[in-house]
Structure 1
Amino acid sequence: MTSTATTVPHILLVNPWIHDFAAYDFWAAPLGLLTLGGILRDHGARISFVDCLDRFHPLQAALPLVDKRCGRGPYIKTTIPKPPGLADIPRNYCRYGVPPEWLRHDLAVLPPPDLVLVTSLMTYWYPGVRETIAVIKSVFSDVPVVLGGIYATLCAEHAERHCGADHVISGPGEAAILPMVARLTGWRPTPRHDPTDLDTLPLPALDLTRRLVHVPLLTSRGCPFQCAYCASHRLQPRMMRRSPTSVVAEIVHWHRDHGVKDFAFYDDALLVDADRHIVPLLEGVIEAGITVRFHTPNALHIRNITRPLAILMRRAGFHTIRLGLETTAFERRQSMDRKVTEEEFLRALNHLKAAGFAADQVGAYLLAGLPGQDVAAVESSIAVVKAAGITPVIAHYTPIPHTPMWEAAVEASRYDLAADPIYTNNAIFPCRSETFSWEVLTRLKTLARA
């Protein structure tokens, strides 16, 4: 590696707090941020990582809970005031993550960085991002802070006005990271990777986490579908894939070198073109002779599940399967997506059951809170899924800017969604025209669990 800068920079990566009515570690990790960390480290930069959501912080009085079946668990949380406009929501609003004094301690013991990179996820989590950046600046007042991630991409203008960062970067960061670091620090290493070829990128710097209990996997970027409620095309316009060989090598690395058993696929289209992607990938896992558990929190496309693939998934270690069903009103779903028919749904379930998956392993996401949707429609979908012998999983609809459904959401909402991303919080059913009722959500969840 060569560089035109005489001093290699120290770059701090920060995963910010979540401010919300509810949050839980469903195999979450700041994969994009740690991928950039891996790239920078591979070029010779000094990298540090501070995780505001750290479930295993050493200042805790007791060990945190970990679900031994899958590695998930709750975050530390502290009740905080609700944002303006949400005072009527009958539930506590919390800061999820370590207390502020712990964060200040973690920052103070670090060598001063030359640059701080902060990521962002849900658009309505920006208050946690803003608070995190404020603490960073109180400790490192002269260090430039750069914000990237999903909120920074979907709500760039809002982020520039409100988050407190010195710079906001939109879109995928792999191509932008080295030029941005060069501009802010003067360090200019010779590029070693091709951002358009995912196989050339190094492993994400997940080893910087305090305790690695699960690993997120991204075997592809983008999605061939254009669902009305999804921002995948905005976030990643081009479909790209890693080779199955490189993914298997990563799984084996985290399992054998770090003892990881639980892996979560976060692809938007994991099963598309299965014979050239997921099939050789899972065959490679089986040939490696490792025993691991795979989870699919981002949902699988149902029509791609064949009987041979279901059997292969079972053999390779799939443990938690989530299907992207969204609704069982098949005859009226054309305005949402064209991902699945009723026949394809039932056929896929038969394949999964025949492969040996239990009902509590297979869940179907059902969107609740869509513009114009009534509660009875969700209740009907829950009944259909339960009758099919699997688990209904309520997924609250989040209005997302730049999606085809955004205008309908704005029109249906009792909030001014365009004025502030805080009102897109899916926990409050923002597209219900009437006053929010927590009892409605409780009833749906009880019906799904019964």
Structure 2
Amino acid sequence: MKALLVNPYIYDVSAYDFWLKPVGLLYIASALREAGIDVELLDLLDRNLPGNNEHEGPYGTGKFHSEIIKSLMNEYGIPRYLKRYGAPEEIFDSVKMEPDVILVTSMMTYWYGGVFETIKLLRKRFDAPIILGGNYPTLLPWHAKKAGADEIVVGDGIPSVYESIEKLTGTKIKHAVGKDWFEVLKPDYTFYPVLKTAVVHTTFGCPFRCTYCIAWKKGFRIRSVRSVLEEIEILKSRGVKDIAFYDDALLVKRERFKEILKNLPDDVNYHLPNGIHAKLLDEETAFLLKEKNFKTIRIGYETSDVELQKKTGGKVSNEAFYNAVKLLKKAGFTDKEVGAYLIIGLPGQSFESALMDIKRVIEAGVKPVINEYTLIPGSIDWQIAIKEKLIDGKVDPLLLNNSLMAYWWKGSMGIEKIKLLKSILHKYALGKLSKEELLALKA
């Protein structure tokens, strides 16, 4: 049997490659090969594909090729353009196999337009049943049924993938791995002729229950230290120079992570683009991060408002944040490597509160990194918003895009205030606003 795995286009108003890799799909590739299935990958977001690298950024990041799809002004009254990100359509002709089944993954629910177009193009090129999985059908199965796939898979279980293939092809296959797939498999990166960057997960899911997030719904699983280090050695042997750890709760098993750190290869750059938990950082970990060449560290701060911290799950406190910054600075990190994630537009958040968040991060001596708030389907915030009739559960997922929500959602502080906050930070980054001037600003 032959299976084509596809990482689809992104439809968004902006997108950037911060070490993006379809890790779930690469795990599935390993599981299918274990079952004796011939596999090929079409990663439309691979910036090494012809025509898909607009600009090379630091540490293997960069811009995707993009094309304007439409203006959102007429339909939604939003003055932004929706773009398609990924390789030009001609890349579909590079697929060598005639597959018996096609598996398409997905990520953000509001990227669904890219999924729709990808499936449409696959239908034109191949005569094979299509299975759609990933975050989008898991969170919004009712909407994902419109994508044009023959079958959708909800959740992250490899056994469900095996069953869907059997159902659509009528062929019995070997169920080579089960629920322990996260430990026994490694993502299959052999599809990439050029591999400069990679993503590694040492844990899966999260034990915390932040109201704006859904990672806790996946439960919390841990890989062995041996498995993680073996994977990193394989990636290094393939020529990978930059590895991003994308765990949602990397430091929950801190002593285990220290063991990983102590044994990491020295001639690779490492990155923590997901916010680490400030409460869980200790001095030894901070010094190991510096010793082992970590170039990007993000702290999950979200807000300095004590009431909002409690309301959103109590993951962080101001004391824990300041202590984490102190430890990282002691280890030798600067604001060039360390940033603090802030969410602007949280329900109940005022402009004054968000401005204070920015000031506190700058005073602490690290870089504020702004995330515009969005409602994630299935999150606690989502459930509250539906109950309070702040949102319709059947809303177009495109409008949940974090760059678009503030234009129309009454639960937000509003797009003009968010634009003002971003403008203040932009001027500060360009040196047009001094630290003293920013700290003196009044709301």
Q: What is the TM-score normalised by the length of structure 2?
A: 0.90
TM alignment of 1:21-170, pairs within 5 A: 21-58=13-50, 64-67=54-57, 69-82=58-71, 87-100=76-89, 102-107=90-95, 110-140=96-126, 142-160=127-145, 162-170=146-154
C-alpha distance in 2, partners of 1:448/1:278?
Answer: 35
Match of residue 172 from structure 2: 188
Matched residue SS, 1:207 = coil
Listed one character per residue, the Cα deviations across residues 199-239 of structure 1 (whole Å, up to 9, x for unaligned) are: 212x21222134312111111111110000001123x1x21
C-alpha distance in 1, partners of 2:387/2:339?
Answer: 31
Cα deviation, residue 11, structure 1: 0.2
Q: Read off the aligned partner of 1:268 and give its amino acid letter.
A: D
Among 240, 246, 250, the residue aligned to 1:270: 250
C-alpha distance in 2, partners of 1:412/1:447?
Answer: 38
Match of residue 249 from structure 1: 230
C-alpha distance in 2, partners of 1:192/1:165?
Answer: 25
Match of residue 224 from structure 1: 207
Note closer, same or farther for the CA distance 1:351–1:295 as it changes in structure 2 (3 Å cut): same
Q: In the alignment, does 2:188 pair up with 1:200?
A: no
Note closer, same or farther for the CA distance 1:86–1:272 as it changes in structure 2 (3 Å cut): farther
Match of residue 355 from structure 2: 379
Residues paired across the two proteins, number: 426
Cα deviation, residue 27, structure 1: 0.8
Listed one character per residue, the Cα deviations across residues 168-195 of structure 1 (whole Å, up to 9, x for unaligned) are: 1110032312222222224434333342
C-alpha distance in 2, partners of 1:352/1:436?
Answer: 34
Cα deviation, residue 416, structure 1: 4.5
Cα deviation, residue 442, structure 1: 3.9
Matched residue SS, 1:170 = coil
Matched residue SS, 1:129 = helix
TM alignment of 1:394-433, pairs within 5 A: 394-410=370-386, 416=392, 418-430=394-406, 432-433=409-410
Higher relative contact order (CA 8 A, sep 6+): 1
C-alpha distance in 1, partners of 2:419/2:176?
Answer: 55
C-alpha distance in 1, partners of 2:180/2:369?
Answer: 35
Q: In the alignment, does 2:155 pair up with 1:171?
A: yes
Gaps of 5+ in 1: 1-8
Match of residue 3 from structure 1: none
Q: In the alignment, does 2:270 pair up with 1:282?
A: no
Identity across the alignment (%): 36
Listed one character per residue, the Cα deviations across residues 127-154 of structure 1 (whole Å, up to 9, x for unaligned) are: 11001101111112x3111100001100
C-alpha distance in 2, partners of 1:10/1:398?
Answer: 39
Cα deviation, residue 64, structure 1: 4.7
Q: Read off the aligned partner of 1:393 and give its amino acid letter.
A: V
Listed one character per residue, the Cα deviations across residues 346-396 of structure 1 (whole Å, up to 9, x for unaligned) are: 111111001111111100000012223232222110110000000000011
C-alpha distance in 2, partners of 1:336/1:50?
Answer: 39
Gaps of 5+ in 2: 432-443
Note closer, same or farther for the CA distance 1:132–1:365 as it changes in structure 2 (3 Å cut): same
C-alpha distance in 1, partners of 2:310/2:423?
Answer: 28
Cα deviation, residue 420, structure 1: 1.6
Matched residue SS, 2:304 = coil
Matched residue SS, 2:299 = strand
Is the 1:371–1:409 contact (alpha carbons within 8 Å) kept by the matching residues of 2? no
Q: In the alignment, does 2:303 pair up with 1:327?
A: yes
Q: Read off the aligned partner of 1:79 and give its amino acid letter.
A: I
Cα deviation, residue 165, structure 1: 0.8
C-alpha distance in 2, partners of 1:85/1:38?
Answer: 45
